[in-house]
Structure 1
């Protein structure tokens, strides 16, 4: 946990204690009631924070999950079940979990607006069911009693704040785990998440399950506030309004959930005081949500990001000043040496770790790959080159499981043909993409944690970042340039210590000097980290300097394969690249 996180936690706990000590004493009864409504709404907003803020899923049925929690609370109350209020509260949250998972199943196939329509349909169905079947105890006016010593309005406000704080701390802890960090990556790129060994299905279903549990807890707290609820308390319009607030404010941060709860509680009162229609508040929330969607970040995201960037820029400036001082004193740091072209090893020293045979991919009548064979030896760097449209990226996508094809793929003797991308990544086959998509709100340390699939020791993470020439780990991705993001992506792939890393044009957009420096690093990767590399590149100088063997594709066919020097002298290869076989090789 960095300094900013510790300060935020301390400030949040301090604010919670202060609210519990002061507000029940100084507020009049009506405003205490509104404060309870704000605290309950803040709890429900945390459920939006998990599914909308972190995972980026458009869910419009969180109030339906809250209704399930409320129904279970009232049903247990009518039955006079053992355990009392607190046990019933937890059971109500748990009852919403399987429903949340069931609603999350369509998210495995659809996303965006289509998924929003599915969740909205569930909210409409829940409205109909609740309207026909009243909540338990409603007909006989059997009300739920608040637990002692929280039976007064002031005491119940304190209870709601305690529950909110406990959930916020737990969600904060989950947010620092690989599961919590994976939600951020899912929001930006499911393909990148799968390439890092993350099960997209499990992560999404976990987000739905946890958000449903939190919403169910919120529904139970609402019953404790009102003693008896009606279907209108959980109307689908409530879900729409809170969804808009979630998009606008960002309830995946505790302060955002609190602000969202306050807005949800006092908007109706403010509209009444200034003689405006109640629906006008929803219009304002909708407009704010549209602005947030346009920027791609909520208000709390932007606020936190600015704070992290200010701190990171101070750190980078201090590092630059230290480097300038070291240069002036003649204590410059070592730069990677220009790599020496590798000498092909004997066949006995080249045990295959990745073997691809007869790989064929067709898109309709177009043959993207035609019976391609390729082997990556243990401890080696092999190149895959070819002109644009030759099928290089299709090859990597097929080998890593993102595109279906015919043929066989074996990793260290184990067939991978029927395995999903995340399973292949888990077994030791990692890849990078031409277009790097990294959640800007993550720090480099957090991104390495996602890539490694484990909590990296700080020393190991620092070693990786220094090796690949990246800034310090606390620096957020939002202020890292595109070239450094590519290096960070490679570092994340290597951090997992896979058997083979498939690197798709990692030097794109870098200068000649930076490309050669990257080549020196890649050449050292097999010995330093025990990772073999398949390098897809257009930079022939980099390929010559790093790859002991190279395979050349042209229109999906292998036109040459063998030691790098011999292949690049092949007239067919020069013709494919330069359009003429008599152009001398460089």
Structure 2
């Protein structure tokens, strides 16, 4: 996976150089000072970009992290500590990290408005502390001297642009890594992230730590701009205003951070010029944030997505035109499928997944009662039953999403019972869900990389997408239909080369022909990818065509288990699930 967008990097560096050369030459000293404020605000907006834009966490205390960075820089200045401003700036950012992690700990248990209250509570507490204890240097009026060669406002503006650019490049690289991509998945579904082997706790705490570091750097830059700071520079109201800007604009993209910084720095001046109350700017930000929350996407997300979708639709159209041209010339529309592999009887193969006596209770309700199920190596095994029979509960318990169950779960002979979902996924037990929750901002390549849990070669990703009949990998998830998203979910689960993949109704949303084609692919998947499959489905044609063995659940009990044809011919199965009509068992 390429961690650097070379074209975007070249454009960003070019604009940074242009700003450093042109703006100091054309702007008056007053506007240069405002430009510095805008860039410092843009740095702090980048911290919102990590925690709000990427992870989707409602954090209202980023300015408190900035205050910590400023406090450390000024304290080191008062102490005449070695290293100078450049070292102090980094130390200020690092000092905010443990506080960010501590604030992030509640995010492991609570989210949404409740988490917003916790972070805002910290911002209020920090305000009280700063007002009761002046920042270092305030009493003795010891000013912070800017380092050479960035003493003047013009040169310090260049320095702030350099810092912003370095952070933007670093955050861009993190955003393309598995950690950064997992943040997008956390934003949409923590369960889906855990099923791909992502440690939800580690990823969230990493986001809080990185965002706190960036905010701390921003606070240190503000101290360098002002030489001395006061508590009002980091008031909790600013955290609220910048949060609204972050929701509206999307500072997880560099252009969004710049726009947010400009709005934050220039808006008060604009309000003054047009004779409007300063609070009116906050009202505008609040309205914009509400509109962004209603659409679910920030302005920069929408702009980038539309641009990417235009390119993807051209790619899809080119593929369709090539297919039509091939058909017009009499060419085959698809390569002939190879004969299905011939497998040994299940009894001759070692069990890959062995579930014994699985019992799940929700209060007085017994969802699963002593269920036994075995998935042999290289097998496709079915799990069927009426709605409410316990099929999804079975998958959730086996993959670790239901704690406190009875019985045992063994994968390749090793017990998994005390392990969480992400650890089980890393051990080789992957799953899909009935409802997909794929971040629309991702491309299919990026989603496969999350599922694989490693750097996925482009050729390997293309092979997976072609195998399951998905569009080209550059196509964003936002424009693929629900059926294709299910196929992509299956491809992502198998991309990790797990020992067992538990697929929860992957054919939902597929036509009859597409469903049978999926069945053919699932039949070949064990040989092609070395994975065993447990298939939960209501499509009986798919089950008959794909599964060697079937287990039937009814009200949490196993009522039949064995070869597919024998089970589907069982009178009890027909009465409980299939109805009175005979179903051909093939």
TM-score of the superposed pair, with normalisation by structure 1: 0.98
Q: Structure 1 pair 356/4, CA: closer, same or farther in 2 (3 Å)?
A: closer
Q: Secondary structure at the match of 1:553?
A: strand
Matches within 5 A, 1:12-411: 12-334=12-334, 337=337, 345=345, 347-348=347-348, 350-404=349-403, 405-411=405-411
In 2, Cα distance between equivalents of 1:13 and 1:56: 28
Change (3 A) 1:339 1:399: farther
Distance in 2 of aligned mates of 1:268 and 1:198: 42
Mapped partners of 1:343, 1:68: distance in 2 = 64
Residue 513 in structure 1 maps to residue 496 in structure 2: no
Q: Is the 8 A contact 2:4 2:173 kept in 1?
A: no
Say how many residue pairs are matched: 584
Partner of 2:447: 447
* 2-structure distance, mates of 1:344, 1:82: 72
Residues 1:3 and 1:70: Cα distance change in structure 2 (over 3 Å): closer
Query: How far did 1:364 drift?
Result: 1.4
Distance 1:335 1:383, change over 3 A: farther
TM-superposition CA deviations, 1:237-283 (whole Å, max 9, x none)? 00000000000000000000000000000010011111111111011
C-alpha distance in structure 2 between counterparts of 1:469 and 1:461, whole Å: 12
Q: State the Cα deviation string for residues 423-475 of structure 1 (Å, max 9, x = none).
A: 00000000000000100010000000000001100000000000000000000
Q: What is the alpha-carbon distance in structure 2 between the residues aligned to residue 272 and residue 403 of structure 1?
A: 57
How far off is 1:300 after superposition? Answer: 0.2
> 1:66-122 deviations in whole A, cap 9, x for unaligned?
000000000000000000000000000000000000000000000000000000000
* Distance change in 2, residues 1:159/1:290 (3 Å): same
| Bigger mean CA offset, 398-407 vs 33-42 | 398-407
SS in 1 for 2:475: coil
Deviation at 1:579, TM superposition (A): 3.7
* 8 Å Cα contact 1:344-1:548 kept in structure 2: no
Q: 1-side partners of 2:3 and 2:354: how far apart?
A: 47
What's the secondary structure of 2:353's corresponding residue?
Answer: strand
Shift of 1:340: 6.2
* CA shift digits 1:486-539 (9 cap, x unpaired): 000000000000000000000011111000000010000000100000000001
Alignment of 1:540-555 (within 5 A): 540-555=540-555
How big is the shift at 1:346?
5.2
Q: CA 1:170–1:3 in structure 2 vs 1: closer, same or farther (change >3 Å)?
A: closer
Q: Deviations over 1:147-172 (max 9, x none)?
A: 11111000000000000000000000
Cα gap change, 1:339/1:282 in structure 2, threshold over 3 Å: closer, same or farther? farther
Query: Residues of 2 paired with 1:430 and 1:57: CA distance?
Result: 26
The answer as to whether partners of 2:346 and 2:376 remain within 8 angstroms in 1 is no
Distance 2:140 2:304 in 1: 49
2: CA distance between counterparts of 1:331 and 1:456?
A: 32
Q: 8 Å contact 2:340–2:524 — kept in the other structure? A: no
Rounded Cα–Cα distance in structure 1 between residues aligned with 2:451 and 2:249: 29
1:355-403 deviation digits (Å, cap 9, x = unpaired): 0000011111111100000000001000000011111000001101111
Structure 1 residue ranges, 4+ long, deviating more than 4 angstroms after superposition: 1-4, 335-344
8 Å contact from structure 1 (residues 341, 548) kept in 2: no
- Structure 2: distance between partners of 1:332 and 1:244: 55
Q: 2-side partners of 1:282 and 1:485: how far apart?
A: 39
TM-fit CA distance, 1:573: 0.3
CA distance in 2, matches of 1:387, 1:338: 34
Q: Whole-Å Cα distance in 2 between the matches of residues 28 and 66 of structure 1?
A: 28
In structure 1, distance between residues paired with 2:333 and 2:473 = 19
Alpha-carbon spacing, 1:20–1:571, altered in 2? closer, same or farther (3 Å)? same
Which whole-Å CA distance do the structure 2 matches of 1:360 and 1:253 have between them? 47
Distance apart, 1:224 and its partner CA: 0.4
Q: 1:277 to 1:346 in 2, by over 3 A?
A: closer
Listed one character per residue, the Cα deviations across residues 299-343 of structure 1 (whole Å, up to 9, x for unaligned) are: 000000011001111111111111111111222242564986977
Aligned-residue offset at 1:585: 3.8
Cα deviation 1:112-154 (Å, max 9, x = unaligned)? 0000000000000000000000000100110100111111000
Q: Is the 8 Å Cα contact of residues 3 and 176 (structure 2) preserved in structure 1?
A: no
> Quick check: 2:341–2:524 contact (8 Å CA) kept in 1?
no
Question: Is the 1:74–1:136 contact (alpha carbons within 8 Å) kept by the matching residues of 2?
Answer: yes
Alignment check: 8 A CA contact 1:500 1:534 kept: yes
* 1:441–1:477 contact (8 Å) kept in structure 2: yes
Please list every run of 5 or more consecutive structure 2 residues that lacks an aligned counterpart in the other structure: none
2:469 aligned with 1:483, yes or no? no
Unaligned residue ranges in structure 1 (runs of 5+): none
